[in-house]
Amino acid sequence: MSRILHSSPIGRDARPARWRWFAFASAQRFDPLARRLAPRFFAAALAFLLAGMTVGFALAPTDAQQGEVYRIIFIHVPAAWMSMFIYLVMAMYSALALVFHTRLSSLMASALAPTGAIFTAIALVSGALWGQPTWGTWWVWDARLTSELLLLFLYLGYLALEAAIDEPRRAERACAVLALVGSINVPVIYFSVRWWNTLHQGASVSLTAAPSMAATMLAGMLLMTLACWMYAIAVALVRVRCLTRERGLLNPVGDEPWHG
């Protein structure tokens, strides 16, 4: 009898494991998870940052053509990758919010926007610092640079639109539409060096070709990218926790519905 009671699903969640993850679409259940995970992602970001800077700025060899100035790549390329990746994640969360009416999806997109804007600005500034000694100019209206600048305007427009609309639900829907429409610009950034004759170099890393750089250069760049990813996740978790409190989505008693 005790064995039967022990194996019975009564009193515990009998749903398949894949469906239990939907419970975290509730701010009430997501909040403690975010509280536990954020410090770990911050710690991982710091570890990857220290490793990446050591490899990139101390162990990687000097480039035969560009000399030491090429080391900007360890900041510029991860920031550029993150600027595009974060916007695509924002668009994904925005689509989930519009289709399934999940408030938490809207908050995740909102939480990622400032970090995406920062990475885009870093990519543009570091690119200018790199372009001056290699191209002889701080800026050219190149297809890659112009589309990246447009991405910064999309991030800033998202943040401005969110701040301009007082009613949170209307702001979330408007920002979701903007994020989805603006996502068209991401493949334009990525493929611009193939579609047009641009001054900007091609992809630094290709999945279909052997790496053209030294192993330590590639390792340093990937470690810095992992540091950026961990940082973006950690900051997003902290911001989401703040937003759920600002918008009153945490109920002191009971669970809130997983949709808005």
Any idea which residue has 């668009």 for tokens?
Answer: 91
Return d(Cα 39, Cα 114) in angstroms, integer.
Answer: 19
* 30 or 23, which is more confident: 30
pTM of this structure: 0.84
Q: What mean pLDDT is predicted for residues 38-48?
A: 98
DSSP of 182-245, one letter per residue?
HTTHHHHHHHHHHHS--SS---SS-SSS--SS-HHHHHHHHHHHHHHHHHHHHHHHHHHHHHHH
Is 52:58 a contact under the CB 8 Å cutoff?
no
- Predicted confidence (pLDDT) at residue 115 exceeds the cutoff of 90: yes
Q: Is the pLDDT of residue 178 over 80?
A: yes
The pLDDT score that the predictor gives to residue 203 is 58
Tokens of 250: 């945490």
Mean pLDDT (the chain, rounded) = 85
H/E stretch holding 178 reads helix 168-182
pLDDT by residue (tens digit) across 196-225?
A: 666 556 555 554 444 567 889 999 999 999
Yes or no: say if 4 and 227 are a contact pair by the CB < 8 Å rule: no
Query: With contact defined as beta carbons under 8 Å apart, do 84 and 189 qualify?
Result: yes
Give the mean pLDDT of 140-151.
Answer: 91
φ, ψ (nearest 5 deg) of residue 259: -115, 165
CA triplet 33, 35, 36: central angle to 5 degrees? Answer: 65
Per-residue pLDDT tens digits for 47-91: 999 999 999 999 999 888 888 988 999 999 999 999 999 999 999
